[in-house]
Amino acid sequence: MAEQREEISFPEIVEQPVMWGYYRDLHQADRYKAIVDSNTGKVFSIVSRDYRLIRHEEAVEQIERAISKTPELGEYRFKTEFYNHGGRMRRTYIFPEILVEIEREDEVNLELHLSNNYDVTCPFIVILGAFRFVCENGLVIGKEFFQLRKRHVYQRTDER
C-alpha cells in the first residue's frame, strides 16, 4: 500500500491518421499513425500502425497491481517525472522497509523504476533493484534483480 498519493495529470493520448499531400490532394498514410495529446494538439511521434500504445496511466496501474499482490514489499513511496511535455514518464517506487546490501556495510532501499514514452525515444522499461547513484554522468552501482524491456510493437505472425 502506498504511503502517499499525488495528483497526476497524464496527457490525453489519441491515435490519429497521418495525412500527406497538398491542399486538395491529401492522402492518408495507411501504414502510419500519429500519437497526439488531444488536450494540447502536441504530436509526440509518427509511428507504424504496428506500434502498440502503452498509456502511462495503464503502465502505473499494472505495476501497482503487481506491487499490491506482493505484500512482503511493504509500504512504498513514489516519485513521478515527466519529460517532453508528457511524452516520456519515469516513475520510481521506493520500498523503505527493504534494505539491500550493495557493498559491504552499504545498504540502500529496494526500488522499482518504470519508464514509458510516446515519443519513441526508448522502450517500455521496468527495473527492480537497489541502486546507489555515484555521479551525474549516470554511473550507478547496485544490484539488479529484474529487468523488462519491451518495444512498443505487436508481434505479428502474418505478412502484410
123, 61: one domain: yes
What average pLDDT does range 95-119 have in this prediction? 93
Contact (Cβ atoms closer than 8 angstroms) between residue 39 and residue 12: yes
Angle at alpha carbon of residue 90, lines to 84 and 91, rounded to 5°:
145
72, 143: one domain: yes
Q: Is 3 a member of any domain?
A: no
More confident position, 155 or 126: 126
What average pLDDT does range 75-80 have in this prediction? 96
71, 141: one domain: yes
* Count of the separate structural domains present in the chain: 2
25, 98: one domain: no
37, 85: one domain: no
For residue range 15-59, list pLDDT tens digits in order.
Answer: 999 998 998 899 999 999 999 999 999 999 999 999 989 999 999
Contact (Cβ atoms closer than 8 angstroms) between residue 16 and residue 33: yes
What average pLDDT does range 114-137 have in this prediction? 87
Q: Is 36 a member of any domain?
A: yes
Give pLDDT, residue 72: 95
Q: Is 18 a member of any domain?
A: yes
17, 63: one domain: no
For residue 157, pLDDT beyond 70: no
Q: Is 157 a member of any domain?
A: no
Q: Please, is 50 exposed, middle or buried when counting C-beta atoms within 10 Å of its C-beta (0-12, 13-18, 19+)? A: middle
For residue range 2-12, list pLDDT tens digits in order.
Answer: 545 566 789 99
What average pLDDT does range 131-144 have in this prediction? 76
Instruction: Provide the residue range defining the domain that includes 39.
Output: 13-48
43, 68: one domain: no
